[in-house]
RNA sequence: GGGUGCUUAGCUCAGUUGGGAGAGCAUCGCCCUUACAAGGCGAGGGGCGGGGGUUCAAGUCCCUCAGCACCCACCA
C-alpha cells in the first residue's frame, strides 16, 4: 500500500468495478428494502443538500444490502417543468429569440436537446458520491412509461370527478405567464405605501375614503365595502360612489370582512384581482371585472388612457392623476406582504383564468389517517403536526401550467368547446364516437411537475402495469427528504399512493435538515456562499472557486463582495478531501431534525480519519502479509489485549447497528470513529507491537495477535463501509484474503478486484458475537491504561523527555495487581518507556518519588535527578484538592437522610463506593505529599 | 396572528428512560518513538440563555421571560 491515503487514486476505480458487475442491483434474495431517490432536476447539478441526502440514502442502502435484504435504491430524474423551461428560454434570449419564435414543437425539441447535453451531469456526480443506485432501472419523469402513468392517473381521477376544470382566481405569474400553485408563492414583507383615495358619492352629499396598497386595481373595483356595524358609514350602505378615473358607478356594500379599525374602515372591492375581494364579490354577487392582460398590463376593460401600461406604470399614473384631481388624501409608507413566484421572483397577481384542479378533500382524508394510524411514521415525529396542519386546511390543487415543457394535459376540445378526456386522441374519438370530421384540439397546457412526482413511488416500478418490481418493492421502506417539500411532494405522494396502489408509498419518512454555510446562512448562488460537493472531494484552487461563485449572478454588483469573502475564507482554495471524508462528515453531522452548519474543519478531521484507517491497515498488512495468521491451523494463543479488542469490537458492532436502526448516523459515525482511533489504533496496535517484535513471544501468541489484527480490521472495514465505501473496499481487498474471505492466490496480482470479483459491499454486515464479550478482560486493560496514564502524566508534567526510560516502584498492590503486572510487564515497559518495575514492601522506606494511583495501588517514580520537587508538590496539591472537593460533595449527599431514604439502593451504594474511592485516593496522595515535603 | 425548532467549552455539536457535564476542531506544552507530523503524549477551558417550580436529586420534567431561526396565515 502507498504510504499516504490518496482518495482520488481509488474512488473512480471501485465505483466502475461495482457498477460494471451489477452489484447495485437487488439480489433477489431476502426481504425487500427499497428507497426511492427524490428525483433531482435532470439538467441540474449536485449541491450540498443532494450530497447530504444521498449520503444518508446510500448508507442505508448499503447497510441493508449487507444485512441480507433484497435492496433497491431506485434512481431517476425529474423534468422540472418551469425550472428547465426557464433555463432554455434564457439560452434563447441570449440568441435574441423567445420560445414563440421557435414554436411549441421546435422549442420542446430544443429542451430535449438540452436534456441530452446536460442530463448526464447530475448522474455522473451521483456516481462520484458513491451512490449505489441500480442504474439499470433509472427513470425519467417524462419517459414513455412514466408519461403513461401520468395520463392514466389523470383520466381516472377525471372520470371519478376528482379532476375538474374551472374558472376562478389563481396565482398568476405575469413574467412566466402561467398559473402556479399556492405552494409556489412565497410572501415577504416589503416596503410600500398606503394610499387614501377619495371616492365621491354618486348620489351626492360628500365622499368616502378608501385605503389601498394597490391603487391601480381601482380600475377594476366593483364595490366599496364597510363593516355592517360601523356607525360612521351606516347611511352610505346601499348608496353608490362614482369611481374616479374609470367613470363607473359602483355600490357601497356592508360586509363583515371589513375591519373598521384599519385604515379608513372603507375597503375598495376588486373581485377579479384580490382573493379576499373575490370572496366578498361572491357573497354579494358582484361582477368580476378583469383589467389585466396575461403579462399584467391594463387591458381593454380599463380606461383608454391606461391601456397597455404595465401594472407598476399604471400605478404611478393612477396616483398622479388622482392627485391632480384632488382625490388623493394621503400617501403614507406602509409595510405589506408581497407575494412572489419562487421561480421568477415576479410579483404574483391573482388572476381570473380557466385551470384544471385536483379535488383534494377526498384524497386528504386517507392521507391523514395513514399517518394517524402509524402506517407511516415521520422521523423526527414532530413533522407529523406540520403534515396534519396542511392537510386539514388543504385547498384544491391547481395542476395546469401555461408552459410547454411537461406532460401535456390529456384533454381535447371540439369546436363547441366540449371537453373530452382520455389516454390519447384515438381513445377519445373511439369512446365518444367522434369521426374524423370532428376537429379536436388538445389542451395546450401541461401539468404541474409535482403531478408526475406524486406518482414516483409506483410509476418508477412499472405502474400501471402490474410488475414484479411493484409487487416486491411497493410499499417502499423509507423516504429520505427535506422538510421543504413535505407539502409539495410527500403529502401528494401519500395521497396518490393510497388512491392508486391502495397502500402507503413508504413506511417511514426521514426528514433531514438543511445544509447551511459556516455562519449558519442558507447557501445560495446570490449570496455567493455555495460549496460544490465535488470541490470538497477533488479540491479547487482559489481563483476557480472565486470564478464559480461570481459568474452568472443575478446581481453582478455583488461580485466584489463575494470575491473578498471567498478569498478571506479560503486563502488557499479548498484541498481535496475525497468522497469518503465528505460522506463521513455528513453522517457525523446528521442529527435528526436539525439543520447542519457545514464546517470545513470537520471534513479535514474526517479526511485525517481516513488516513488513520489507511495507516492502521498498512501496519496490519505489514505484520500479516506473508506471515502465519493462523489460517493454516497451528496453535493460537490470545493475549489479554487480543481478547480486549475483540470484546470492544462487539461493543462497536452493537452501537453501529443500533444507530442505523434509529437513523442516528451521527452516533454510528462517532462510535466507529472512537473505536477505530481511540481503541484499535491508540491501544490495540500499540499493544500488539511487543508481542510481534519480541523474539521471546511464542509462535502461538504471535499467530493469535496477527489473526486478531486481521479479524478486527476486516470487521471494522465492513462496519464502516456504508459510510465510507471507497477506502474500505480498497483496504478490504487486501485484508480479506488474510482473513480467509477471499481466495488468496489470484486477486492481488491482478489488482484485487479483477481477479476475485468479490466485494466488501456484498459481505454481511457485522453482528455481535456474545461469546467474544469479556468484561473481565476489559477491566484488566482498563487497569493497564490507567497505569500508563499515570506514568505519562507524571512524565509530561514533570517535563521528563518522552524517550527517557524510567524506573518504577509499586506499593500497596493487591494479588490481582501483581498478576496483572506480570501479564503486562513487557507492554508496560514498551508503552510507558519504563526500564524496571519493582515492588516495594509495605514497610520499606520509599525514595523521594512522584506518585500516581491505579485504584489502591501506588505507582512511584523515583525523583533522583529527574523530578522537580516543587512541581510534584504543586501537582499533588492540586490533585488532592480536586479529590477532596469531589469527596465532600458526595459525603454531603450521603449525609442527607432524604437521599438515603428515597433514592434507590443502588444509587446510594454507587455513591458510597465513589466517595470511598475518592477519599482513599486523597488520603494516599496526602501521605505522599507529606513525605515529599519532609525529604 | 398561529405553529415548530433552537440556546451546553472559543467554534460546530452530542447528552436514550431525571442519579458522577462529553466529542471533534481550535488553544497551550513536550516529541519526527520504523502504521500514521493528515501523527504521538499530556494539559487548560463550561453560571448547561434568565427566573420560578416539582423532586432526596434537574442540562434532562413543568411554568414563565428573553433572544435566534424556520413554517403557515386574506388584514385593504
Write out the three cell numbers for A505: 408509498
DSSP string, A586-629: HHHH--TT--EE--HHHHHHHHHHHHHHHHHHHHHHHHHTTS--
Query: Looking at residues A439-453, what average pLDDT do you find?
Result: 95
When pLDDT is cut at 50, 70 and 90, the band that residue A753 belongs to is very low
pLDDT of A734 reads 92
Q: Which residues pair with A78 in a beta bridge?
A: A41
pLDDT in tens, A569-586: 888 889 999 999 999 999
Residue A136 contacts strand B, CB under 7 A: no
Residue A276 contacts strand B, CB under 7 A: yes
Q: Which of residues 438-477 of A touch strand B (CB under 7 A)?
A: none
Q: Output the 3-class SS for A308-368.
A: CCEHHHHHHHHHHHHHHCCCEEEEEEEEEEEEEECCCCCECEEEEEEEEEECCHHHHHHHH
Res A148 pLDDT > 80? yes
Write out the three cell numbers for A674: 472512537
Res A661 pLDDT > 80? yes
Residue A211 contacts strand B, CB under 7 A: yes
Query: Looking at residues A660-674, what average pLDDT do you find?
Result: 93
Write out the three cell numbers for A707: 489473526
In the structure, how far is the CA atom of residue A659 from the C1' atom of nucleotide B37, in angstroms? 33
Residue A340 contacts strand B, CB under 7 A: no
Which of A159, A175, A269 has the alpha carbon at shortest distance from A223? A269
Dihedral angle of Cα A227, A233, A235, A238, to the nearest 10 degrees: -50
Query: Looking at residues A660-671, what average pLDDT do you find?
Result: 92
Write out the three cell numbers for A114: 438540452
**A847, A863 contact by CB (below 8 A):** yes
Write out the three cell numbers for A437: 370530421
pLDDT of A639 reads 92
| Nucleotide nearest A267 (Cα, C1') | B76
Res A660 pLDDT > 70? yes
Strands ordered across the beta sheet of A178-180? A178-180, A163-173, A349-358, A397-398
Write out the three cell numbers for A150: 401520468
Q: Which residue has the higher pLDDT, A875 or A243?
A: A243
pLDDT in tens, A517-545: 888 888 888 888 899 999 999 999 999 99
Residue A273 contacts strand B, CB under 7 A: no
In the structure, how far is the CA atom of residue A902 from the C1' atom of nucleotide B2, in angstroms? 44
Query: Looking at residues A607-629, what average pLDDT do you find?
Result: 91
Q: Which residue has the higher pLDDT, A273 or A752?
A: A273
Query: Looking at residues A483-506, what average pLDDT do you find?
Result: 95
pLDDT in tens, A363-374: 999 999 999 999
pLDDT in tens, A12-60: 889 999 999 999 999 999 999 999 999 999 999 999 999 999 999 999 9
| Nearby residues of A354 by Cβ (< 8 Å), 6 or more positions away | A165, A166, A167
The helix/strand/coil state of A270 is coil
| Nucleotide nearest A886 (Cα, C1') | B20
**A291, A302 contact by CB (below 8 A):** yes
The helix/strand/coil state of A561 is helix
In the structure, how far is the CA atom of residue A881 from the C1' atom of nucleotide B47, in angstroms? 21
pLDDT of A744 reads 58
Share of chain A above pLDDT 90, in %: 63
Most confident of A330-339, A421-430, A802-811, A898-907: A421-430
pLDDT of A190 reads 87
Give the angle subtended at the CA of A59 by the CAs of A58 and A65, to the nearest 5°: 85
R_g (Cα) of chain A, nearest Å: 37
Query: Looking at residues A306-316, what average pLDDT do you find?
Result: 93
pLDDT of A376 reads 95
Residue A910 contacts strand B, CB under 7 A: yes
Query: Looking at residues A683-706, what average pLDDT do you find?
Result: 90
Query: Looking at residues A661-688, what average pLDDT do you find?
Result: 93
pLDDT of A498 reads 96
**A261, A205 contact by CB (below 8 A):** no
- ipTM metric: 0.94
Window from A147-156, A180-189, A359-368, A738-747 with minimum mean pLDDT:
A738-747
Write out the three cell numbers for A144: 414513455
CA distance A793 to A861: 11
Give the angle subtended at the CA of A500 by the CAs of A496 and A502, to the nearest 5°: 100
| Nucleotide nearest A381 (Cα, C1') | B4
Write out the three cell numbers for A820: 496483572
Residue A797 contacts strand B, CB under 7 A: yes
Which of A391, A389, A357 has the alpha carbon at shortest distance from A491? A391
Give the angle subtended at the CA of A712 by the CAs of A709 and A713, to the nearest 5°: 80
pLDDT of A676 reads 94
Query: Looking at residues A866-879, what average pLDDT do you find?
Result: 78
Query: Looking at residues A414-419, what average pLDDT do you find?
Result: 93
Write out the three cell numbers for A927: 501521605
Residue A389 contacts strand B, CB under 7 A: yes
| Nucleotide nearest A589 (Cα, C1') | B13
Query: Looking at residues A756-774, what average pLDDT do you find?
Result: 91
Name the phi and psi angles at A859, rounded to 5. -105, 125
Window from A253-262, A683-692, A883-892 with minimum mean pLDDT:
A883-892
pLDDT in tens, A237-252: 888 999 998 889 999 9
CA distance A854 to A859: 7
| Nearby residues of A141 by Cβ (< 8 Å), 6 or more positions away | A39, A76, A77, A78, A79, A449, A452, A453, A456
**A268, A194 contact by CB (below 8 A):** no
pLDDT of A894 reads 86
Q: Which of residues 147-206 of A touch strand B (CB under 7 A)?
A: 182-183, 186-187
Which of A118, A114, A115, A122 has the alpha carbon at shortest distance from A91? A114
Residue A426 contacts strand B, CB under 7 A: no
A322 to each of A197, A263, A328, A861, how far by Cα in Å?
8, 18, 6, 97
Residue A263 contacts strand B, CB under 7 A: yes
Write out the three cell numbers for A85: 423551461
Q: Which residue is nearest to nucleotide B34 (CA to C1')?
A: A619
Q: Which of residues 609-628 of A touch strand B (CB under 7 A)?
A: 610-612, 615-616, 618-619, 622
| Nucleotide nearest A382 (Cα, C1') | B4
pLDDT of A756 reads 63
pLDDT of A866 reads 67
Res A749 pLDDT > 60? no
When pLDDT is cut at 50, 70 and 90, the band that residue A867 belongs to is low
pLDDT of A246 reads 85
Name the phi and psi angles at A328, rounded to 5. -95, 110
Average pLDDT over chain A, rounded to whole?
90
Residue A275 contacts strand B, CB under 7 A: yes
Plot region of A198 (φ>0 → left; ψ -120 to 50 → alpha; else → beta) = beta
Residue A265 contacts strand B, CB under 7 A: yes
In the structure, how far is the CA atom of residue A483 from the C1' atom of nucleotide B71, in angstroms? 9
Res A752 pLDDT > 60? no
Cis amide linkage into residue A287, ω under 30° from 0: no
Q: Output the 3-class SS for A780-823.
A: HHHHHHHHHHHHHHHHHHCCCCCCCCEEEEEECCCHHHHHHHHH
In the structure, how far is the CA atom of residue A772 from the C1' atom of nucleotide B44, in angstroms? 39
Q: Which of residues 221-260 of A touch strand B (CB under 7 A)?
A: 257-260
Alpha helices in A419-485 (DSSP H): 425-431, 449-453, 456-459, 468-473
When pLDDT is cut at 50, 70 and 90, the band that residue A747 belongs to is very low
**A122, A42 contact by CB (below 8 A):** yes
When pLDDT is cut at 50, 70 and 90, the band that residue A815 belongs to is very high
A486 to each of A20, A371, A384, A593, A595, how far by Cα in Å?
36, 13, 10, 13, 16
pLDDT in tens, A86-113: 999 999 999 999 999 999 999 999 999 9
Residue A569 contacts strand B, CB under 7 A: no
Q: Using DSSP bridges, classify how beta strands A139-140 and A441-442 pair: parallel, antiparallel or unpaired.
A: unpaired
pLDDT of A750 reads 42
Q: Which residues pair with A510 in a beta bridge?
A: A379, A480
The helix/strand/coil state of A640 is helix
Q: Which strand B bases fall within 7 angstroms of a protein CB?
A: 3-6, 11-15, 19-20, 23-26, 29-31, 33, 35-36, 38-43, 55-57, 70-76
Q: Quickly count helices (H) and strands (E) in chain A.
A: 32, 29
Burial of A913 (0-12, 13-18, 19+ CB in 10 A): exposed
Residue A121 contacts strand B, CB under 7 A: no
pLDDT of A754 reads 47
Amino acid at each position: 500500500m502507498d504510504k499516504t491515503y490518496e482518495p482520488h487514486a481509488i474512488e473512480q476505480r471501485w465505483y466502475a468495478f461495482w457498477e460494471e458487475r451489477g452489484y447495485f442491483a437487488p439480489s433477489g434474495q431476502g426481504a425487500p428494502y427499497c428507497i426511492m431517490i427524490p428525483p433531482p432536476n435532470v439538467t441540474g447539478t449536485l449541491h450540498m443538500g443532494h450530497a447530504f441526502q444521498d449520503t444518508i440514502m446510500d448508507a442505508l442502502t448499503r447497510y441493508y444490502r449487507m444485512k441480507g435484504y433484497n435492496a433497491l435504491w431506485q434512481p431517476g430524474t425529474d423534468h422540472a417543468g418551469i425550472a428547465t423551461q426557464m433555463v432554455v428560454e434564457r439560452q434563447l434570449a441570449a440568441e435574441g429569440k423567445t420560445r414563440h419564435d421557435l414554436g411549441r414543437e421546435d422549442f420542446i425539441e430544443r429542451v430535449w436537446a438540452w436534456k441530452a447535453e446536460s442530463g448526464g451531469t447530475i448522474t455522473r456526480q451521483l456516481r462520484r458520491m458513491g451512490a449505489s443506485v441500480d442504474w439499470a432501472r433509472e427513470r425519467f419523469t417524462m419517459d414513455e412509461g412514466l408519461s403513461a402513468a401520468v395520463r392514466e392517473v389523470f383520466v381516472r381521477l377525471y372520470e371519478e370527478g376528482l379532476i375538474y376544470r374551472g374558472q376562478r382566481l389563481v396565482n398568476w405569474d405575469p413574467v412566466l405567464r402561467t398559473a402556479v400553485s399556492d405552494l409556489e408563492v412565497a410572501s415577504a414583507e416589503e416596503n410600500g405605501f398606503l394610499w387614501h383615495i377619495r371616492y365621491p358619492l354618486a348620489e351626492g352629499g360628500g365622499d368616502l375614503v378608501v385605503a389601498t396598497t394597490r391603487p391601480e386595481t381601482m380600475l377594476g373595483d366593483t364595490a366599496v365595502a364597510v363593516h355592517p356595524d360601523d356607525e360612521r358609514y351606516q347611511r352610505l350602505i346601499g348608496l353608490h360612489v362614482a369611481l374616479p378615473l374609470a367613470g363607473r358607478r359602483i355600490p357601497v356594500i356592508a360586509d363583515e370582512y371589513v375591519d373598521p379599525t384599519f385604515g379608513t374602515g372603507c375597503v375598495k372591492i376588486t373581485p377579479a384581482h384580490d382573493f379576499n375581494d373575490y370572496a366578498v364579490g361572491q357573497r354579494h354577487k358582484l361582477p368580476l371585472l378583469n383589467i389585466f392582460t396575461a403579462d399584467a398590463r391594463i387591458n381593454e376593460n380599463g380606461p383608454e388612457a391606461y391601456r397597455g401600461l404595465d401594472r407598476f406604470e399604471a400605478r404611478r399614473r393612477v396616483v398622479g392623476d388622482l392627485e391632480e384631481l384632488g382625490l388623493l388624501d394621503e400617501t403614507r409608507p406602509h409595510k405589506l406582504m408581497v407575494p412572489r413566484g419562487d421561480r421568477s421572483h415576479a410579483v404574483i397577481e391573482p388572476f381570473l383564468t380557466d385551470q384544471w384542479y385536483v379535488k383534494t378533500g377526498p384524497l386528504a382524508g386517507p392521507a391523514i389517517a395513514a399517518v394517524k394510524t402509524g402506517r407511516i411514521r415521520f422521523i423526527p415525529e414532530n413533522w407529523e403536526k406540520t403534515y396534519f396542519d396542511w392537510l386539514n386546511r388543504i385547498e384544491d390543487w391547481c395542476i395546469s401550467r401555461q408552459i410547454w415543457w411537461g406532460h401535456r394535459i390529456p384533454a381535447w376540445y371540439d369546436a363547441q368547446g366540449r371537453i373530452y378526456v382520455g389516454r390519447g386522441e384515438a381513445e377519445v374519438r373511439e369512446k365518444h364516437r367522434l369521426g374524423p370530421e370532428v376537429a379536436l384540439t388538445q389542451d395546450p397546457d401541461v401539468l404541474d411537475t409535482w403531478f408526475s412526482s406524486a406518482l414516483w413511488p409506483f410509476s418508477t416500478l412499472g405502474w400501471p402495469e402490474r410488475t414484479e418490481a411493484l409487487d416486491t418493492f411497493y410499499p417502499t421502506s423509507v423516504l429520505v427528504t427535506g422538510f421543504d417539500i413535505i407539502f409539495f411532494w410527500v403529502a401528494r405522494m401519500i395521497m396518490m399512493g393510497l388512491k392508486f396502489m391502495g397502500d402507503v408509498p413508504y413506511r417511514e419518512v426521514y426528514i433531514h435538515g438543511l445544509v447551511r454555510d459556516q455562519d449558519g446562512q442558507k447557501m445560495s448562488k446570490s449570496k455567493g456562499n455555495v460549496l460544490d460537493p465535488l470541490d470538497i472531494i477533488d479540491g479547487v484552487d482559489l481563483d476557480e472557486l472565486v470564478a464559480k461563485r461570481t459568474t452568472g449572478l443575478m446581481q453582478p454588483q455583488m461580485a466584489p463582495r463575494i470575491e473578498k469573502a471567498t478569498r478571506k475564507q479560503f486563502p488557499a482554495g479548498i484541498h481535496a478531501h475525497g468522497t469518503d471524508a465528505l460522506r463521513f462528515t455528513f453522517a457525523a453531522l446528521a442529527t435528526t431534525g436539525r439543520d447542519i452548519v457545514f464546517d470545513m474543519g470537520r471534513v479535514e478531521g474526517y479526511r485525517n480519519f481516513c488516513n488513520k484507517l489507511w495507516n492502521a491497515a498498512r501496519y496490519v498488512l505489514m505484520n500479516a502479509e506473508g506471515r502465519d495468521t493462523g489460517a493454516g491451523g497451528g496453535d493460537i494463543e490470545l493475549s489479554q489485549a487480543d481478547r480486549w479488542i475483540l470484546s470492544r469490537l462487539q461493543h462497536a458492532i452493537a452501537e453501529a447497528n443500533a444507530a442505523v436502526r434509529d437513523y442516528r448516523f451521527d452516533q454510528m459515525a462517532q462510535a466507529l470513529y472512537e473505536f477505530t482511533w481511540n481503541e484499535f489504533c491508540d491501544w490495540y496496535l500499540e499493544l500488539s507491537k511487543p508481542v510481534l517484535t519480541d523474539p521471546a513471544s511464542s509462535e502461538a501468541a504471535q499467530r493469535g495477535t496477527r489473526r486478531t489484527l486481521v479479524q478486527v480490521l476486516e470487521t471494522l472495514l465492513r462496519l464502516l463501509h456504508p459510510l465510507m465505501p471507497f477506502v474500505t473496499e480498497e483496504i478490504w481487498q487486501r485484508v480479506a484474503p488474510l482473513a480467509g474471505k477471499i481466495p488468496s492466490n489470484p486477486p492481488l496480482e491482478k489488482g484485487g478486484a479483477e481477479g476475485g470479483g468479490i466485494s466488501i459491499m456484498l459481505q454481511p454486515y457485522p453482528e455481535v458475537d456474545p461469546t467474544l464479550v469479556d468484561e473481565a478482560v476489559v477491566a484488566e486493560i482498563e487497569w493497564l491504561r490507567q497505569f500508563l496514564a499515570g506514568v505519562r502524566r507524571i512524565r509530561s508534567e514533570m517535563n521528563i523527555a518522552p524517550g527517557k526510560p524510567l524506573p518504577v516502584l509499586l506499593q500497596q498492590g493487591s494479588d490481582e495487581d501483581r498478576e496483572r503486572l506480570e501479564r503486562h510487564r513487557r507492554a508496560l515497559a514498551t508503552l510507558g518507556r519504563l526500564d524496571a518495575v519493582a515492588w516495594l514492601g509495605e514497610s520499606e522506606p520509599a525514595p523521594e518519588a512522584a506518585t500516581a494511583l491505579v485504584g489502591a495501588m501506588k505507582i512511584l517514580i523515583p525523583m533522583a535527578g529527574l523530578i522537580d520537587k516543587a512541581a510534584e508538590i504543586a501537582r499533588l496539591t492540586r490533585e488532592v484538592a480536586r479529590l477532596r472537593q469531589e469527596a465532600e460533595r458526595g459525603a454531603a449527599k450521603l449525609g442527607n437522610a432524604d437521599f438515603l431514604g428515597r433514592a434507590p439502593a443502588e444509587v446510594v451504594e454507587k455513591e458510597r463506593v465513589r466517595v470511598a474511592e475518592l477519599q482513599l485516593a486523597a488520603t494516599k496522595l496526602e501521605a505522599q505529599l507529606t513525605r515529599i515535603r519532609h525529604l
